[in-house]
Chains A and B, each alone.
Chain A
Amino acid sequence: MDQELILELPNDIRSIEHAVEYVMRHCSTCCDYARRFNLNFRVGLTEALSNAMLYGNDSDPQKRIRVEVTVRVEEIAVRITDQGVGFDPTTIPDPTLPDNISKSGGRGIFLMRSLMDEVKFNDQGNSVTLVLRLEGEAGE
């Protein structure tokens, strides 16, 4: 059976760590996952929240972030929606290219895409859904 969790967060980067821990605890009560959950999901979620707060909502403290988590037997999906105008995710350069590697920013979406099984943006570009598949994870 699906288990859902919905959070509304203030647009404050100090809330990210607590929000991630809360979601991780919620998900771990449903299943016993291992490394891909503890590393991939944690980092993917952190990146999506910080992108939403810093760039989507442009650090505006009046705006909020909506987090919707769905835990199924085979996967965890989390949708993060900000109140910004959105962006075009296809314009993000590859941070591992020689010209970009010594830049301080630009790795958030790359990490999300590297660590999660699916990363889908809505047409407006202000909502991202991350999916991590869990088959074979328990007890690893």
Chain B
Amino acid sequence: MAFQVSKSGDVTVIDVEGQLIVGNRQELKQKVLEELEKGERRFVVNFSETGYIDSSGLGVLVSLSKKIREQEGELRLASLNEDLRTLFELTKLDTLFTIADSREEALEGL
């Protein structure tokens, strides 16, 4: 499974295992939207086990963040390795997201 959904209190945590790319981005989108429909509003996407993300993967995170904000919720990102952080910095998406160094840090105050 590429995406593992779990709960930490009232926060939904999605662990991305492997890649977040054009071939599986819809699966992530569907899982988050299902949780949003159930009433969940706080989300952390954890990348500690993620190899790489392509532009489609970045795009789906932007799209989900917007949808969650529209529902007065929040999406945070956690545990980006150096390569993934480079992609966020190049595209300036590091200015759009709250990015925590770890899953635990992302959960603090969410």
Contacts and interface: CB of A to CB of B under 8 A. Distances in A.
Nearest to A46: B54
A46 B96 contact: no
Contacts of B55: 47, 50, 105, 107-108, 110-111
Nearest to A45: B54
Contacts of A105: 55, 59
A120 interface: no
Chain B interface residue number, banded: 20 to 34
A46 to B, nearest CB: 5
Contacts of A25: none
Contact of B86 (A39, A50, A103): A39
B6 interface: no
Interface residues of A, number: 26
A3 interface: no
Chain A contact residues: helix, strand, loop or mixed: helix
Contacts of B90: 110-111, 114-115
Contacts of A35: 83
Given A14-B23, A17-B23, A102 B62 contact: yes
In this complex, which of B56, B58, B59, B87 has the most chain A Cβ atoms within 10 angstroms of its Cβ?
B56
Contacts, number: 66
Interface string A93-114: 0011000011111011011001
Contact of A104 (B59, B86, B95): B59
B91 interface: yes
Contact of B96 (A16, A102, A114): A102
A111 B93 CA distance: 12
Interface string A58-82: 0000000000000000000000000
Contacts of A115: 90
A50 B59 contact: no
A13 B52 contact: no
A116 to B, nearest CB: 12
Contacts of B19: 17
A49 B22 CA distance: 10
Given A50-B54, A101-B92, 5 more contacts: A35-B83, A39-B52, A54-B22, A104-B60, A105-B55
